[in-house]
A and B are shown apart, each in its own frame.
Chain A
Amino acid sequence: MFDDFFIRALVAGIGIAFVTGPLGCFVVWRRLSYFGDTLAHSALLGVTMAYTFDLNIAISVFLISSVIALILIQLQKKTNLPGDALLGLLAHSSLAVGLVVIGFLTFIRFDIMGLLFGDILAVTTDDLFVIWTGGALILIVLKLIWKPLLASTVNYELAEAEGLNPDRAKAIFTILMAAVIAISIKMVGLLLITGMLIIPAAMARNISDSPQKMVLFSIIGGLLSVILGLYSSLEFNTSSGPSIIAAALILFILSLFKIKQSIKLKN
């Protein structure tokens, strides 16, 4: 069944959408889109490391992204630079270092376009295993930290005062972000992963009135984007990442009509 590259891509994409849906909601709520971007940019370094030391790409990307997240936390504590400057610094320097390292690795043929924008031909049966087991683990952990994470998203002090340990939830969430980037990089590409996190969640925000509903609609939006995007990628011979993100954008635009309606109803 997984012999067909397209079926493999579809199964991989569906697995990714289940994970990016709920995580994307938290990215939107906690204003972490640029943070997600930074981790994704640093993923290139992870990919080069995987080729150099012959590691699994997902594991290697996960490790590098986690290290970058730790460095960010340290820099936030030790410098007076604003958060967005630090994020920009880490995002672009890790991307640059990654590209420089690729320049040195002349013995390997790199498909830079595939890395940046995703490549459905690259998804192997091993990748499916990594995406689905990794994805299931991410969702289980997210379920476990759901309450403290949501509570501290609403109000940090309330969560802390009532004994929910928001700092621990935040640290775990950072690791989950690195993990979701690691499992989706091949499919969506490192420049577009944040789009996969944010756009379905933003679409869901337009049509939901509770956190749970937003998560549900965000997953559905992600699934539709993957299916529509991959079919059009096959049809028009376009890169998988941009096709998926474009499909998500169309869904987002459609969701705007719902807002218009509800505003009309209020008036």
Chain B
Amino acid sequence: MNSNNNILVKLNNAGFRQSEKWLVEGVSLTVEKGKIVTLIGPNGSGKSTTAKIALGIYKNIEGSVEKYTTKVGYVPQKISIDWTLPIRVYDFMLLTETIEDSAIDEALSLTGVIHLKNKNLGSLSGGEFQRVLIARAISKKPELLVLDEPVQGVDYTGEIALYELIKKISDTLNCGILLISHDLHMVMTATDHVVCLNGHVCCSGSPIDVAKNNEYKALFGEKASQILTTYEHKHDHVHSDEGEIKKN
């Protein structure tokens, strides 16, 4: 079946319907080792649904999902934890897999929350909790990482650092990443493939192709398209102080 050994998960014309309403339909995409695939689209366009289809959380789907790995790390968009359960950050790190203490410490240090290791999960702020979620997902050294808006609630400098971390993880672990992000700079600089959703795949391809796509412009507006194209522009030249353009 798997002609390409690098494929981790493949969606073939996948869709999901909840009480007669299509949340998303006709999505085809492939996540390969070492590659970052980003889903973008407006609210309610089916980004999280697509991620959940890829993860196998939704069972009665249209189309098909081929999954070639069981080592999965997931950062969900919304997580509500019931505080009747006393649980420390440390316990949470061990939730789905038994990992060594050194790996736990390493992951918590990478996301900058090692000092919270013995804190109760309920006492964390939104941004701190988000960092713990990312640390948990990467500490198990997964082959496939699914990140659903992983930096929501994180402060601006932290956001950049975490995106750099995600890029680094994809390179060092050679894992495939399915990312949902609103950060178009991240989409531009680190992503290999962009899928633009609006209930269906409205366009997909390399970031620059998508930015130039008319449907993308119609969905996000001219400005968003400019952000992406400007961004690529930035890579082939630098501006001197006088505004003179210097080729790289």
Contact = CB atoms under 8 A, between A and B. Distances in A.
A265 to B, nearest CB: 13
A209 B117 CA distance: 13
Contact of A154 (B55, B72, B92): B92
Given A161-B146, A209-B120, A154 B85 contact: yes
Nearest to B140: A162
A150 B92 CA distance: 10
Contact of B72 (A153, A161, A212): A161
A162 B97 CA distance: 9
Interface stretch (B26-34, B36-44, B75-83, B180-188): B75-83
A164 B74 CA distance: 13
A209 to B, nearest CB: 5
Nearest to B51: A161
Contacts of A205: 84, 86
Given A150-B95, A163-B70, A158 B79 contact: yes
Contact of A162 (B73, B82, B84, B120): B73
Interface residues of B, number: 27
Nearest to B85: A29
A211 B57 contact: no
Interface of A: 28-29, 31, 147, 150-151, 153-155, 157-164, 205, 208-214
Contacts of A162: 72-74, 96-97, 140
A211 B146 contact: no
Given A150-B95, A151-B96, A211-B91, A158 B74 contact: yes
B173 to A, nearest CB: 16
Given A157-B76, A160-B57, A208 B95 contact: no
Contacts of B95: 147, 150-151, 154, 158
14 contacts: A147-B96, A151-B96, A154-B82, A154-B92, A157-B74, A158-B95, A159-B96, A160-B55, A160-B56, A161-B74, A209-B86, A210-B88, A213-B86, A214-B86
Interface of B: 52, 55-57, 70, 72-74, 76, 79-82, 84-88, 90-92, 95-97, 120, 140, 146
A153 B96 contact: no
A28 B86 CA distance: 11
A210 B90 CA distance: 9
A203 to B, nearest CB: 13
A158 B81 CA distance: 12
A144 B52 CA distance: 27
Contacts of A213: 86
Q: Considering the complex of A and B, which 10 residue pairs feature the smallest CB-CB distances, nearest first?
A: A161-B55, A161-B74, A162-B96, A29-B85, A151-B95, A160-B57, A208-B86, A151-B96, A163-B70, A209-B86
Given A154-B85, A160-B55, A160-B56, 14 more contacts: A31-B82, A147-B95, A151-B96, A153-B82, A153-B85, A154-B82, A154-B95, A157-B52, A158-B79, A160-B57, A162-B96, A205-B84, A209-B86, A211-B85
A83 B248 CA distance: 65
A154 B81 contact: yes
Contacts of B57: 157, 160-161
Contacts of B120: 209
B81 A155 contact: yes
A105 B72 CA distance: 58
Nearest to A209: B86
Contacts of A164: 96
A225 B82 CA distance: 27
A76 to B, nearest CB: 16
B200 to A, nearest CB: 23
